[in-house]
Structure 1
Amino acid sequence: MNKLPNCSQAVISKDKIESYLLNFDHREGKSKAMFFSKFGYPLANSPEFCAALRELACESIVVQVEERLPFGTRITTEGPLRTPDARNPRIRMGWFFDRDNPENLPRLIAVIPTRSK
């Protein structure tokens, strides 16, 4: 598997973006908010950030597939995130396919900045 299945219909929670990934007040998300804001994604740009994550869902490459029995499958993808400042840092995204999800849609569960190579 090279690409994320059903990527064009990926489920990306507005709450995960605004309350965690771009939230400077979140204890665990603060470092991610600092990272993404450096590239032009402050909280005010959350719709653009969501669109860039959705775009990357279909462009990124699958780097790991893990069966999480009995719950479903976790797929990790990696690629460059399109950013307003055009520096496009590489990130990893974790996606989960719930076993009881008849549409088989990926749900975003993690976004992690990676080290540049």
Structure 2
Amino acid sequence: MTPSQVPIAWLIDNQKISGYLLNIEHPHGASKAKYLMRFGFRPESPDALASALVEHALKNLPGLEVVPPGGSPKIVFEGVVAAPDGRDMPLRTVWKRRAPFEMRFVTAVPLTR
């Protein structure tokens, strides 16, 4: 098995999806929720977004490792997500490697460049 074929566990906290990314009432997540909902993602279907986020990372492997000053390394993936409404949605996702074959979701932001 080559390194690219090694299974990776992609971990996403449900609260990140339901309580933040798809919550138009959240003080920091509202703009992200509005963006995601314009493409057909819905609060009542958080698994659809979680699956799309993992698919996004897999399609854009290996990603770019970024080490912020004084912070821990993150892996950034940029590309499009197949949205529920059929359009390609530009997105940047950020993940943190927790173990050699385990990635934890940090956040997603609209990709505007």
TM-score normalised by L of structure 2: 0.82
- Indicate whether 1:52 and 2:52 are aligned: yes
* Percent of paired sites with the same residue: 25
- CA RMSD in angstroms, aligned pairs only: 2.6
| Residue correspondences, number | 110
Query: What's 2:20 paired with?
Result: 20
Q: CA deviation at 1:17?
A: 0.3
1:72 Cα offset (Å) = 4.3
Query: Aligned equivalents of 1:6 and 1:31: distance in 2?
Result: 35
> Post-superposition shift, 1:104?
3.9
| SS in structure 2 at match of 1:86 | coil
Seen in structure 2, the aligned counterparts of structure 1 residues 68 and 97 have a Cα distance that, compared at 3 Å, is: farther
For structure 2, which runs of at least 5 residues remain unmatched after alignment? none
Any residues of structure 2 matched to 1:1-117 within 5 Å, and which?
8-67=8-67, 72-98=72-98, 101=99, 103-115=100-112
Distance 2:38 2:75 in 1: 27
TM-score, L = length of structure 1: 0.79
Give the 3-state SS of the residue equivalent to 2:45 in structure 1: helix
